[in-house]
Amino acid sequence: MRKRRKLALLLVIVVLIILQFFQPEKNQGNITQEGDLLLVSVVPDSLAAILINSCYDCHSNHTEYPWYSRISPVSWYLQKHVRDGKEDLNLSEFGNLSKAEKIGALSDVYEALEASNMPLQSYILIHKDARMSQDEIDALMVWADQESLSLMKK
């Protein structure tokens, strides 16, 4: 029995070591690009800083990776979060959306903030600086609502 446990542990260690050689592709495009929300919309600097700090790692084409992102299988877990986040909303490509899609995306931002769904609790646990105060959340919600109304008038 003891021999089996040692063998199983050795096998797990070997598999973990081998996994380190297979890393997912990093999400490291340009920090800002032509269709980026911050370039195509009027976003006050204070709100832009909040968006970059709390949203852009998962919802843009550029992620600032922490040290532990180089460790498999954590790297695969992070890559999935980023991929899923970009599928829901990619702030780097906001300008490429149709008017209706932009309004819908801003509505989704508003609703996610209102429901306290974003940023994810698992993200905030590790990235304490991404935590938003209620005043910051309220300011982003007001901005998203006003930006949406502005788009409707165009």
58-78 pLDDT tens trace = 999 988 888 887 888 888 888
Q: pLDDT at residue 80 above 70?
A: yes
> Which pTM does this prediction carry?
0.82
For the chain, percent of residues with pLDDT exceeding 70: 97
Give the pLDDT score at 109.
Answer: 94
**Residue 111, Cα to own-chain centre: how many angstroms?**
16
Q: For residues 144 and 152, is the Cβ–Cβ distance under 8 A? A: no
How many CA within 13 A on the CB side of residue 69? 17
Give the pLDDT score at 7.
Answer: 84
Residue where the block lists tokens 């797990």: 12
